[in-house]
Amino acid sequence: MFEFKEKDVNIYIVDDDVLLLKILENQFLKASKYNIFSFKSGEDFLHYYISNPVKKTQIQIVILDYNLSSKGSKTKDGIEILKYIKDISQKVHVIILSGHVTQLISDKMKRLGAEACIKKNENSFIRVQNTIKWIISERVIIDKKKQSKTTFLIFFSILLIAVLIGSLKAFKVI
């Protein structure tokens, strides 16, 4: 039976605002037992993520700032980081945080694979938490469906073998 554990969830927070980064990190540490990782740039996150493979059973969630600072020409913004993340794995869930969310930005980010686009304000953490709970519940449902299919196939195989053995005994082959 599939059993979900909070330690099976990795949360990666990527934001160039150090204060917000620490606030989010502390809120998650107080509110959950998720594995929390924080990064001041998209490049730092990508380097860490590529260098540290994760278990297939773990749920990967990236909370990504849309407007990452562009101090240098090599610094990537949230759109570029989202594209890189999705190139690495389609199974990584991305939640975009932005101080300036418009419907156009939200639609674009969702087309690129983001789960949600949330405006930075006093309710951000609650909305992010609710989105994470939704992502986890979706994963649990998918895993239970896979388990049900596997259980059905095993049951059907055993039933088929029993019928074949019964048929062979009826014809006195065995």
pLDDT tens for each residue of the chain, 174 residues long: 456 677 889 999 999 999 989 999 999 999 889 999 999 999 999 999 999 888 877 899 999 999 887 555 566 788 899 999 999 988 999 999 998 888 988 899 999 999 999 999 989 999 999 999 999 998 888 778 888 888 888 888 888 888 888 887 877 766
What residues are paired with 118 via a beta bridge?
Answer: 97
Given a contact cutoff of 8 angstroms between Cβ atoms, the answer to whether 121 and 102 are in contact is: no
Given a contact cutoff of 8 angstroms between Cβ atoms, the answer to whether 16 and 40 are in contact is: yes
pTM: 0.79
- Cα–Cα dist 125/118, whole Å: 9
Ranges of beta strands (E only) in the chain are: 9-14, 35-39, 59-65, 93-98, 116-119
Domains of the chain and any CATH numbers: 6-144 (3.40.50.2300)
Distant-in-sequence, close-in-space partners of 114: CB < 8 Å, separation ≥ 6: 64, 82, 94, 95, 96
Distant-in-sequence, close-in-space partners of 74: CB < 8 Å, separation ≥ 6: 43
Distant-in-sequence, close-in-space partners of 34: CB < 8 Å, separation ≥ 6: 6, 7, 9, 10, 11, 28, 132
